[in-house]
Amino acid sequence: MDARLNLFENKVAGKVLKHLAAANGVLKDSGLPTATQELVKIRASQINGCGFCTDMHVKEALHAGENDQRLHLVATWREATVFTEAERAALELAEQATRIADAAGGVPDEVWANAARHYDEDDLTTLVVLIAMINAYNRVNVAVRQPAGSYRVGQHF
């Protein structure tokens, strides 16, 4: 399977992706735990059907020390007992913000309040921007049918 566009060689895509990568660096260096960031990216990517991003963030999570069991259960986090309450709040926020078009009024107040119980303002800001960014990446990769499976850890960072 070939992508519809070669995002890695296109000049316009290269300029845009350079800026997105710089923004990702700010998020990566925030106080929000790496595990939480990767879990959120994986869950949004699963919802959006982005195989490329799912592959990337599973591999990045494993490299950062995440365990297989938790990664296998991200899609079914509500029924899984392996996530902290804070991670569960972040995953719920990620789902609601990713499915924003499905909910009249956007992210429900109770979902936001639950996340705010576990995260301070900087972490909430990181979560919101992180969710927006992974959704942008997902939409680009799904639109061009970017193939999944060949990502190497650190390849795009």
- pLDDT, tens digit (0-9, with 9 covering 90-100), for 129-145: 999 999 999 999 999 99
Q: Which residues of the chain have pLDDT under 70?
A: 157
Structural domain includes residue 47: yes
What DSSP character marks residue 67?
A: -
Please count the structural domains in the chain.
1
What is the pTM (predicted TM-score) of this model? 0.93
What's the CA gap between 43 and 63, in Å, rounded?
18
Which CATH number does the domain housing residue 100 bear? 1.20.1290.10
Query: Which of left, alpha, beta for 104 (phi over 0: left; psi -120 to 50: alpha)?
Result: beta
Structural domain includes residue 154: no
Structural domain includes residue 21: no
Structural domain includes residue 96: yes
